[in-house]
């Protein structure tokens, strides 16, 4: 006759009890951990395998094994399965290294028309050429195993992450020049706030073009929202194109006023027209300083000839470095304008688009915002 099972004494600290209580109520932890936490807590209250099993709806041997593991390894360690030996790996570390090295190449470098690998293509290539490279274990490689091996090494050969190569050898120098202009803006603002006296008249304008603004028309009327039925406007998927326009705009960094033109294109003649707009907007004694990028229209022979005919010191250009458009403060204005005025815009013609863009500029100029640049400004000379 078998002897009676002896109750096992299970000791727990207050911290362990709190952790097990939280786990037993969790909705995100694995079910096995939640169940075992509940077993240990129930056994602590009533040290009987059969009583706990009856309460939780499991076999009494399941409760016994859980409690024995808790005594042997600790209450929290008993929540997880013990490591098992498992099957010996058939893919050698050398074969994995060869596969990962292969994934770091482009597929076209190995004679395929594909630019990058797919996991299916990589698995097929490894099956065909792996044994010849001394890795017989890859002869039956499948796509899922390829995904696991690449995942362990955090390699994603089927994806591309873009970056921008710095190609301007004078990037730091040109950036310093732009920052010096922003520093001058800061000094002028401070001087204007402290004194009513106006110093040397100067206007500082951040300028750029926003090309390719599409004039798109709807082919059917938009349907308005209906409370309780349709939360948003409804629009037909089809549309009609009427062409594109370019917005030429500059922000006065001292007053916040936006000067703008809307044109079909943005060549040298349109840029000169914008310069004439600035020339008419400021007194003849003022110096107009522009921060702008290296667009060909800004340095063309036509533009240089027009500037040469102007009074000395009237216009002064400070160019942002190549791939340094983020240094131009007007880019932030374009982003905000696109997200507020141009977002989802539909028009019947390019003329209507032009009128609505200029109306948006007038709306901005009713309450102009003085933009401020602060990044690395203290490093400006």
Specify whether the CB–CB gap between 274 and 281 falls below 8 A: no
pLDDT digits 0-9 by tens, 160-193: 999 888 788 889 899 999 999 999 999 898 888 7
What confidence score (pLDDT) does residue 192 get? 81
What confidence score (pLDDT) does residue 350 get? 95
Long-range contacts (CB closer than 8 Å, 24 or more residues apart) made by 272-275? 272/302, 272/303, 272/306, 274/207, 274/248, 274/250, 275/303, 275/306, 275/307, 275/315
pLDDT digits 0-9 by tens, 72-113: 888 888 898 887 777 777 899 999 999 999 999 999 999 999
What confidence score (pLDDT) does residue 190 get? 87
Give me the tens of pLDDT residue by residue for the chain, a chain 381 residues long.
455 556 788 888 889 999 999 999 999 999 999 999 999 999 988 888 999 999 999 999 999 999 998 988 888 888 988 877 777 778 999 999 999 999 999 999 999 999 999 999 999 999 999 999 999 999 999 999 999 999 999 999 999 999 888 788 889 899 999 999 999 999 898 888 777 655 568 999 999 999 999 999 999 999 999 999 999 999 999 999 999 999 999 999 999 999 999 999 999 999 999 999 999 999 999 999 999 999 999 999 999 999 999 999 999 999 999 988 899 999 999 999 999 999 999 999 999 999 999 999 999 999 998 988 888 777 655
What confidence score (pLDDT) does residue 1 get? 44
What confidence score (pLDDT) does residue 169 get? 87
Q: Distance (Å, rounded) from C-alpha 110 to C-alpha 130?
A: 13
């Amino acid at each position: 006759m078998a002897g009676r099972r002896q109750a096992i004494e299970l000791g727990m600290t207050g911290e362990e009890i709190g952790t097990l209580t939280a786990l037993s109520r969790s909705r995100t932890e694995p079910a096995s951990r939640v169940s075992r936490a509940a077993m240990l807590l129930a056994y602590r209250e009533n040290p009987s395998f059969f009583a706990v099993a009856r309460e939780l709806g499991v076999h009494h041997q399941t409760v016994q094994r859980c409690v024995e593991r808790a005594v042997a390894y600790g209450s929290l360690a008993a929540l997880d399965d013990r490591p098992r030996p498992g099957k010996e790996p058939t893919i050698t570390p050398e074969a994995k290294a060869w596969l990962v090295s292969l994934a770091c190449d482009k597929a076209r470098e190995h004679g395929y028309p594909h630019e990058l690998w797919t996991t299916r293509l990589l698995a097929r290539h490894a099956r065909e050429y792996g044994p010849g490279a001394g890795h017989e274990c890859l002869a039956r490689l499948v796509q899922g195993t390829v995904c696991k091996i690449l995942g362990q090494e955090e390699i994603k050969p089927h994806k591309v992450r873009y970056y921008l190569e710095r190609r301007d050898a004078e990037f730091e120098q040109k950036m310093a020049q732009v920052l010096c202009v922003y520093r001058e803006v800061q000094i002028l603002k401070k001087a204007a706030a402290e004194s009513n006296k106006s110093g040397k008249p100067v206007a500082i304008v951040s300028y750029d073009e926003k090309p390719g603004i599409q004039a798109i028309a709807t082919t059917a009327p938009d349907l308005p929202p209906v409370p309780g039925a349709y939360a948003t406007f409804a629009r037909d998927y089809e549309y009609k194109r009427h062409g594109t326009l370019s917005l030429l705009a500059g922000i006065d960094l001292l007053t916040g006023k936006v000067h703008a033109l809307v044109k079909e294109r943005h060549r040298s003649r349109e840029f000169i027209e914008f310069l004439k707009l600035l020339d008419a907007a400021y007194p003849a004694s003022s110096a107009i300083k522009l921060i702008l990028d290296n667009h060909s229209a800004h340095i063309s022979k036509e533009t240089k000839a027009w500037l040469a005919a102007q009074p000395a010191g009237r216009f002064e250009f400070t160019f942002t470095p190549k791939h340094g458009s983020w240094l131009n403060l007007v880019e932030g204005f374009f982003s905000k304008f696109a997200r507020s005025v141009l977002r989802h815009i539909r028009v019947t013609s390019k003329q209507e688009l032009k009128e609505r863009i200029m109306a948006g500029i007038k709306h901005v100029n009713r309450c102009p915002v003085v933009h401020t640049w602060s990044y690395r400004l203290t490093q400006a000379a």
